[in-house]
Amino acid sequence: MPARSLTLDHLVIAARTLDEGVRHVADALGIEPAGGGRHPLMRTHNALFGAWSGLYLEVIAIDPDAPAPEDGAKPPRARLFGLDDPAIQARLAQQGPFLAHWVARVDRPRQLALWQRQYPARIAPVVAMRRGDLSWGLTVPDDGSFPAWQDAGDGLVPSLIQWDSPRHPAESLPADGIALKALKGAHPHADTIRAQLDWLGAAHLLDVEATDGPPALVAEFDTPQGPRTLR
């Protein structure tokens, strides 16, 4: 197990369109977005919501205004968080936005890129990203899928992030009086998920239970309107 535990950085809500995702979070938690932008490398865009304790929520969708590749150009890399996966796109079209994933932060002095190079079978490649004055490294499998361990993942094994810029996005987002009480997951291979979380130093961040049904993430919040759940 790593010497230092990881920190919960943010939650990821996948959406077919940004507007649909924003409405999903607003309906569930009674809050409005206060930030966001575009990721040209990934051809995605997002909207951000703040919460207490430095946590934030990210709604992410394919950017319809992203430039198409020029003729003869190298094919663009796969979008992150499985947004190119036909099964995820079908789910979004049929069932709407959902809490798809979570991201754990690796704090310095540990170096995420070095850790990944030491354990490439356990940690996906680190991709350098930038938006405005923010810069960070994020683990993204080459095919854009969710991280996994021994073929178990489905959004429950976290992506890892390390911020290179001194400012964290949550610092510019209002908390809106919401606080995360618990992040819970269900997976048919819960033991495998728990083993990877233990190895990462992230077992304290997600409570995983076994299920005979499909994998799922659920976040429970305290809000000014009382307890609310985001799925």
pTM of the shown model: 0.94
Q: Are 117 and 111 a contacting pair, CB within 8 Å?
A: no
Range of the structural domain that residue 172 is part of: 7-63+79-176
- 188 inside domain: no
- 189 inside domain: no
CATH number of 52's domain: 3.10.180.10
- 42 inside domain: yes
Per-residue CA distances from 1 to 70, 116, 142 (Å): 45, 15, 25
- 209 inside domain: no
Ramachandran quadrant class, 155 (left: phi over 0; alpha: psi -120 to 50; beta: rest):
left
Q: Are 32 and 26 a contacting pair, CB within 8 Å?
A: yes
- 122 inside domain: yes
Residue by residue, pLDDT tens for the chain (231 residues) are 444 589 999 999 999 999 999 999 999 999 999 989 999 889 999 999 999 999 999 999 999 998 876 655 677 889 999 999 999 999 999 999 999 999 999 999 999 999 999 999 999 999 999 888 899 999 999 999 999 998 888 999 999 999 998 889 999 999 889 999 999 999 999 999 999 999 999 999 999 999 999 999 999 999 999 999 999
- 30 inside domain: yes
- 227 inside domain: no
Number of structural domains in the chain: 1
- 220 inside domain: no
